[in-house]
């Protein structure tokens, strides 16, 4: 019925159009109608993206899945070679992403129907969700790196609008601002990286960039060297800065925990499943280029490792249910990131597959966890685990759903997270055993903090005063998400997504799994001891490890660090002097000039005193001066 190109256009276009319609109509549109428009639109996009990816994966070119361009037209010509063209491409990772984005977005919009009921700006909420979904779909389908930057900024602004949705709450306003500014700062790196890279390759098309490096035209000597690395390597580092900002890698992660101020379904969609993995997607998109630069790959790896471990440590001591989940998101994206990093080494190329496999499974189980958290918050009217506890009785279904999410993220077989995490660990082992060691510790920590949360919310002390309740409107979309959270691991992922595009066999290494599963179970067991029933163990250990505990509670003081950078570095060292100089020196100098002119005028006035003798004197002096001038001119 539709050609693939039409389908590819319609996938992002439908949400964009709906954003326009719902946004312009505003309150004139009945609430339920705007929600149905949003949901119907995303359902259509989902069907198109399913159909498109099925047809893409059923037609490999010479046995490989290659980058296929549907169409492209010049949008903004800078010069003969450099232009932004708007186009859409299909490749394994973009096909994977469109399906993930559409399906999570559909569930989230469905969930929001009940969750956001009665909100004053209900219509705008759906408009913004559509804007976000459209931008995110555009991002993953972009054929041009600058086009990707455009959508990259658009998802940033939709995230801004949605985090600040409760706009009268000062903390939400501050969080939305912080999220935008921190990512903007990172995007500056992305932008300069684009400029550097496109100057090198003389094209902004992804296809052209990949071909350029594949063809072996690249010569670091010609490209230019700065601080003993080629400019192309610097370009990739800068692009990675942008990716790290969006994906909230340390030390640019500080915006993500605060972003939890937004409505919970938004956190599930944007800050767990889709937008925050855009950084992973960007590195994956340029993976063939990244893998040429050993040093850059090391950077990617270690930033990923650092993020996964630090975030896991912080998550242990947080008491806000959404923040625990936010830090766990950080940690899991760290896994995806270093999986890409280790894939640069020969023999560990499957790390690429593992990274996107984890992205895929994580999207489902993490959005499930967030929506479950939303359902809990909806019932308890608080984010603090303190006010929860013993909720399994009031919310039995949510309890089971949350448990599924926890088991999946902890890597317990046969839940989806087990398969993807195994892949990551396996390739980390093949590439760098040290990374593997950290990743293993991270797995244990993950299991511990997730089950800590689970026990604190559903067991432990019970609150008889909380009248939790469940509603089918909330549970049903979660149930649908639980299906992939359980079973997504059985997808033969490596026959679709590989770094080369060539399908590969999937192997399961049962012997290898013993250590990670063992450490995961250990973490769960410890969490059981500590938190299943109210006891004094947590306090005892907190005081025993008080140094680490304080660091964890204080989130390693990154917020304070950034606040200092902002206050001292920007406001006090730069902006205040600039405003002062402008007022006192530049403008002051001008005023002084004006006053001097006035005074000079006063003095000149005295010359015209009406005395004839003086006038004659001036006249003679003038003639003398003219004569002198003429003589000088003749001489020269």
Applying CB under 8 A, the residues found at the interface with other proteins are 74-79, 82, 84, 146, 149-151, 153-154, 157, 160, 164, 167-168, 170, 173-174, 176-177, 180-181, 184-185, 188, 191-192, 195, 198-199, 224, 570-571, 574-576, 578-579, 581-582, 586-587, 589-590, 594
Cβ of residue 460: shortest distance to other proteins, in angstroms?
36
Residue closer to other proteins by CB (options 167, 619) is 167
Distances (CA, A) of 155 to 277, 345, 355: 12, 32, 22
Q: Which is nearer to other proteins, 594 or 631 (CB)?
A: 594
**Which H or E run contains 229?**
strand 229-230
223 alpha-carbon distance from chain centroid:
30
- The label of the residue with tokens 């936010």 reads 326
Shortest Cβ 580–other proteins spacing (Å): 9
CA 542, CA 239: separation in Å to the nearest integer?
Answer: 40
From the CB of residue 598, how many other CB atoms can be counted at a distance below 10 Å? 9
Tokens of 401: 């759903």
DSSP secondary structure, 3-52, as one string:
-HHHHHHHHHHHHHHHHHHHHHHGGGS-HHHHHHHHHHHHHHHHHHHHHH
Closer CB to other proteins, 240 or 438, in the complex: 240
Q: How far apart are CA 257 and CA 263, in angstroms?
A: 13
Name the residue nearer to other proteins (CB basis): 83 or 117.
Answer: 83
Give strand ranges (E) for 370-441. Answer: none
The answer to whether the peptide bond before residue 619 is cis (omega within 30 degrees of 0) is no
Query: Please, which residue, 184 or 553, has the CB nearer to other proteins?
Result: 184
Give φ, ψ of 459 to 5 degrees.
-120, -130
Q: How far is the CB of 255 from other proteins (least distance, A)?
A: 12
Q: Decide whether 131 or 406 has the Cβ nearer to other proteins.
A: 131
H-state helical runs in 318-349:
321-342
User: What's the angle, vertex CA 21, arms to CA 102 and CA 100, rounded to 5?
Assistant: 5
342, 348 contact by CB (below 8 A): yes
Compute the least distance from the CB of residue 429 to other proteins, in Å.
40
Cα(289)–Cα(239) distance, integer angstroms: 12
Q: Minimum distance from CB of 224 to other proteins (Å)?
A: 7
By the 10 Å C-beta count (0-12 exposed, 13-18 middle, 19+ buried), 616 is classed as: exposed
Best CA proximity match to 34, nearest among 45, 23, 48? 23
Residue 160 Cβ, how far from other proteins at the closest point, in Å?
Answer: 8
Residue 105 CB, shortest distance to other proteins, in Å, is: 20
Most distant pair of Cα atoms in the chain: their distance:
116
Contact yes or no for 9/45 (Cβ under 8 A): no
| CB closer to other proteins, 52 vs 275 | 275
**What 3-state DSSP class applies to 65?**
coil
Angstrom distance (rounded) from CA 3 to CA 279 = 30
| Residue with Cβ nearer other proteins (138 or 468) | 138
Of the pair 2, 226, the CB lying nearest other proteins is at 226
The CB-of-260 to other proteins minimum distance in angstroms stands at 17
Looking at the Cβ atoms of 114 and 142, the one nearer to other proteins is 142
To the nearest whole angstrom, how small is the minimum distance from the Cβ of residue 233 to other proteins?
16
Closest approach of Cβ 7 to other proteins, in Å?
22
- Kindly tell me which of 502 and 570 has the beta carbon lying closer to other proteins: 570
Output the smallest distance, CB 302 to other proteins, in A.
25
Q: 164 or 503, CB closer to other proteins?
A: 164
Q: Is the dihedral of CA 610, 611, 616, 617 positive or negative?
A: negative
**CB-nearer residue toward other proteins: 195 or 521:** 195
Residue (186 or 391) nearer to other proteins, CB: 186
Minimum Å gap between C-beta 27 and other proteins is 9
Write down the least CB distance from residue 6 to other proteins, Å: 20
Q: How far is CA 35 from the centre of its chain?
A: 26
Torsion of CA 315, 321, 323, 325, to 10 degrees: 70
CB of 71 to other proteins, least distance (A): 15
Q: Which has the closest alpha carbon to 478: 106, 32, 136? A: 106
**CB of 370: closest distance to other proteins in angstroms?**
24
The helix-helix angle for 472-487 and 92-115 (nearest 10°) equals: 160
Nearest CB to other proteins, comparing residues 2 and 566 = 566
CB contact at 8 A, 290 and 345 = no
CA distances from 569 to 245, 563, 572 (A): 20, 9, 6
Q: Using omega within 30 degrees of 0 as the cis cutoff, is the peptide bond preceding 251 cis?
A: yes
Residues 403-408: contacts with CB under 8 Å, at least 24 apart: 403/454, 404/365, 404/368, 404/482, 404/485, 404/486, 405/365, 405/366, 405/368, 405/369, 405/372, 405/482, 405/485, 406/369, 406/450, 406/451, 406/453, 406/454, 408/361, 408/364, 408/365, 408/485, 408/486
79 vs 635 by CB, closer to other proteins = 79
Dihedral Cα 609, 612, 618, 624, nearest 10 deg:
180
Q: How far is the CB of 607 from other proteins (least distance, A)?
A: 22
């Amino acid at each position: 019925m539709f050609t693939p190109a039409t389908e590819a256009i319609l996938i992002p276009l439908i949400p964009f159009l709906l954003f326009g319609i719902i946004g312009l109509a505003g309150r004139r549109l009945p609430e339920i109608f705007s929600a149905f428009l949003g949901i119907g639109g995303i359902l259509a996009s989902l069907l198109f993206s399913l159909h498109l990816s099925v047809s893409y994966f059923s037609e490999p070119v010479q046995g490989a899945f290659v980058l296929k361009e549907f169409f492209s037209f010049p949008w903004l010509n800078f010069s003969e070679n450099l232009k932004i063209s708007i186009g859409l491409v299909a490749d394994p990772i973009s096909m994977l992403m469109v399906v993930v984005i559409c399906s999570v977005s559909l569930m989230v919009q469905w969930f929001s129907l009940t969750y956001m009921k009665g909100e004053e700006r209900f219509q705008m909420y759906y408009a913004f969700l559509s804007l976000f979904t459209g931008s995110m779909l555009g991002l993953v389908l972009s054929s041009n790196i600058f086009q990707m930057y455009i959508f990259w900024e658009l998802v940033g602004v939709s995230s801004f609008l949605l985090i600040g949705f409760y706009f009268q709450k000062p903390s939400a306003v501050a969080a939305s601002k912080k999220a935008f500014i921190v990512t903007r700062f990172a995007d500056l790196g992305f932008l300069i990286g684009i400029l550097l890279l496109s100057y090198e390759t003389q094209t902004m098309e992804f296809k052209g960039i990949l071909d350029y490096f594949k063809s072996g035209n690249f010569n670091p000597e010609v490209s230019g060297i700065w601080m003993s690395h080629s400019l192309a390597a610097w370009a990739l580092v800068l692009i990675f800065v942008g990716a790290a900002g969006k994906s909230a890698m340390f030390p640019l992660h500080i915006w993500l925990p605060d972003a939890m101020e937004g409505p919970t379904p938004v956190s599930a969609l944007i800050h767990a499943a889709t937008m925050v993995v855009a950084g992973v997607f960007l590195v994956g998109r340029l993976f063939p280029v990244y893998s040429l630069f050993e040093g850059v790959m090391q950077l990617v790896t270690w930033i990923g490792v650092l993020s996964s471990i630090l975030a896991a440590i912080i998550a242990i001591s947080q008491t806000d249910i959404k923040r625990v989940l936010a830090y766990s998101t950080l940690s899991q994206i760290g896994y995806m990131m270093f999986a890409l990093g280790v894939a640069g080494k020969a023999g560990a190329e499957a790390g690429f597959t593992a990274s996107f496999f984890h992205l895929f499974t994580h999207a489902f189980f993490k959005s499930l966890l967030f929506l479950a958290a939303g359902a809990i918050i909806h019932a308890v009217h608080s984010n603090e685990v303190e006010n929860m506890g013993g909720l399994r009785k009031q919310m039995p279904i949510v309890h089971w759903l949350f448990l599924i999410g926890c088991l999946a993220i902890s890597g317990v077989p046969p839940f989806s997270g087990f398969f993807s995490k195994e892949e990551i660990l396996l390739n980390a082992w093949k590439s760098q055993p040290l990374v593997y060691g950290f990743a293993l510790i991270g797995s244990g920590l993950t299991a511990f903090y997730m089950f800590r949360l689970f026990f604190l919310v559903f067991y432990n002390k019970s609150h008889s005063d909380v009248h939790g309740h469940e509603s089918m409107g909330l549970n049903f979309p979660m149930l649908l998400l639980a299906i992939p959270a359980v079973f997504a691991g059985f997808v033969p992922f490596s026959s679709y997504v590989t770094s080369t595009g060539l399908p590969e066999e999937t192997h399961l290494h049962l012997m290898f799994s013993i250590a990670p599963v063992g450490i995961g179970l250990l973490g769960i067991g410890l969490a059981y001891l500590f938190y299943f029933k109210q006891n004094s163990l947590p306090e005892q250990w907190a005081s025993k490890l008080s140094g680490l505990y304080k660091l964890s509670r204080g989130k390693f003081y990154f917020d304070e660090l950034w606040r200092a950078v902002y206050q001292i570095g920007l406001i006090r060292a730069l902006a205040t002097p600039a405003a002062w100089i402008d007022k006192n020196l530049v403008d002051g100098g001008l005023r002084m000039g004006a006053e001097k002119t006035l005074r000079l005028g006063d003095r000149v006035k005295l010359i015209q005193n009406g005395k004839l003798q003086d006038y004659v004197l001036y006249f003679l002096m003038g003639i003398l001066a003219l004569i002198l001038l003429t003589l000088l001119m003749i001489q020269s």
